[in-house]
Amino acid sequence: MIRVPKVPGVPTVSDVLGVELPIIQAPMAGSQSSALAIAVSNAGGLGSQPCAMLGLDQIRAELKAITAATSKPYNVNFFVHKQPAPDPAREDAWLKLLAPYLAEQGIDPASIAFTSDCLRSHW
């Protein structure tokens, strides 16, 4: 293991975040629940709960689960970028590019909706 010497007067990542290990778990929207954030926090890193694709009731439930299972620090992550305007030509180009991969997985491209809530409707 590589150890970085502590510089006097300069806080480490662990000091700043209040964790034992300088590990920040990547929040993976759409592919994880609070269980991963809980496990990472309890293991000494900074667990992360992705909330960008969750509704308000889901966010409350996930945060309640985290606070019930750990007293350690954790991160709550949201997307904060501007949603792009719908562009049918761009969306068609993406579907054509992804068509072989969608077919391989048995996904009908017509079932994919490009709306501001498109990801939320699929997860």
How many CB atoms within 10 Å of residue 58?
A: 14
Owner of token pair 């305007």: 85
pLDDT digits (tens, 9 = 90+) for 6-32: 888 889 889 999 999 999 999 998 889
Residues in Cβ contact with 7 at an 8 Å cutoff, skipping those fewer than 6 apart: none
Query: pLDDT tens for residues 63-116?
Result: 999 999 999 999 999 988 777 788 888 888 888 999 999 999 999 888 876 654
Q: Can you tell me the distance from the alpha carbon of 94 to that of 86, in angstroms, rounded to the nearest whole number?
A: 13
